[in-house]
Chains A and B, each alone.
Chain A
């Protein structure tokens, strides 16, 4: 007598029919249509308005490239179904084809909401492209351009969805402050890409670098999660930014429970900041370019983390500027510089939602943003890597903080480094430094 499963396998093979040829053709055609729908958007309108085109040129000029490199983030707005479903609650039966359509809707809603939130933007004249190209533009220049753009052709912008290929989605990106998806499932594909590029003597293209992936490539010795109903532990810490005295970094680490008999995957995990209404705060997700301002009522865009798997951790870092202290990161709506004040302890909450085990209900967790403390070895190393990623991307927010500082911070915070991964990263940073000279 053969193995039970061999019998079953041969029976199953006999029972399995061939795919129906007509359905096959139809289904593939449907897939291609949906594929084209997703990828064929936006471009025609982008070249339409002169204002649009002009700003597009400004933003994509070489010196300003730091403000344009969130192509991946845009892509994930479309490609992560969790993010979509958060923007548009599924009230009707969720047919797949319709879900794809709803990505459209979600994006439009996001951008329209924003347009309505800022209707009377002053039409600041956009600086000449050439002038901008010669200086590293503070974001406010770009924003000024957008102000003109929005008064110029708001409707076009609102219809314009981001797409994957190239910088043309930048505008929509900046305007829509999109939902980003640092997926828990990628550990190191971006790291591997960077490693091989640097080994070949090249600085990899900015749009291949995902800072969250770089951070999550490494293991961190965070406290082991407590075993309770929540399938992951959330560790939140807030400390001064090494590259900017006027901002703080907010570290949010979601760590899946260690694999065990009852291991759970929390799916559709989303995270959003809810800054107290008496704070004027701006924040950016490290590694992406959209600057979010509470003033613009954009804080309702959650970050989609996808799945938090057992035994894995995912790190999200926000750089926060409390703009009633320092408006320097660029403030869309404010004109006066404000006054410097001590950082307050209570600034708001982090809201996390994850799908319950029945996958139908969403479980909320709310964690208050803690007071500023000192970073430790683990967060310091992650910060060094975050800095490294941004340096590679040419992000402009780091000021004078460069490879020397990133390397020193990483080197000093290698910790136990059992597998030498952190030491290897330091080597890679040195290589990048020499290539970037």
Chain B
């Protein structure tokens, strides 16, 4: 019966202590959540770790779920916050890059069409600042600007501006390539 239960009902039940509801909710959203984490970080290992952070924190965060919001919106918000926490930690405790993807892996990989594409994607994403990358991570998941705005806690206008900035930057990269 659980399959027909809405996300929102599951989340509400989970917030009230219903363990199976919580498990069902997480199972339903895990893969999409992981994919979102990948788009935020560009690295599989980092995305797995970020997803772990979120999973660990989620039970305690359930109290902040308000029925008014879609579960995905709430979940992505938790994810974005967790991603920011990780970035802060990395910036503070390690000299590791806070950029997107992994240059080393991309460059050492054998040259194929796929790695070239990945290379291009990594290069492109790294041209963008964190705000633009976070915004794209949402917009590329078919989130509307309004949803992205709610998740990132900024206005819709800010999202639209960021998207147009990102497009501008991507166009610039392509023009540069075409000129070479």
Contact = CB atoms under 8 A, between A and B. Distances in A.
A27 B34 CA distance: 11
Interface residues of B, number: 61
A79 B59 CA distance: 8
Given A79-B61, A265-B153, A19 B139 contact: no
Nearest to A27: B55
B163 A79 contact: no
Contacts of B124: 8
Given A165-B17, A306-B64, A17 B44 contact: yes
Contacts of A39: 17, 19, 59
B8 to A, nearest CB: 10
A188 B55 contact: no
B63 A181 contact: yes
B56 A310 contact: no
A360 B85 CA distance: 10
B48 to A, nearest CB: 5
A99 B59 CA distance: 11
B129 interface: no
Contacts of B85: 94, 96
A387 interface: no
A16 B63 CA distance: 31
A19 B51 contact: yes
Contacts of B67: 189, 192
B30 interface: yes
Contact of A30 (B56, B64, B167): B56
A204 to B, nearest CB: 14
Contacts of B53: 95-96
Contacts of B61: 79, 81
B146 interface: no
Contacts of A359: 84, 88
Nearest to B25: A31
B38 interface: yes
27 contacts: A5-B140, A8-B121, A11-B117, A14-B114, A14-B117, A14-B118, A15-B38, A16-B39, A18-B31, A19-B48, A28-B23, A28-B55, A31-B26, A35-B19, A35-B58, A35-B59, A36-B19, A38-B60, A39-B17, A79-B62, A94-B85, A96-B85, A100-B56, A163-B17, A185-B66, A259-B155, A306-B64
Given A78-B63, A192-B67, 5 more contacts: A19-B31, A27-B51, A34-B59, A183-B66, A189-B67
4 tightest A-B contacts by CB?
A79-B63, A35-B59, A31-B55, A19-B34
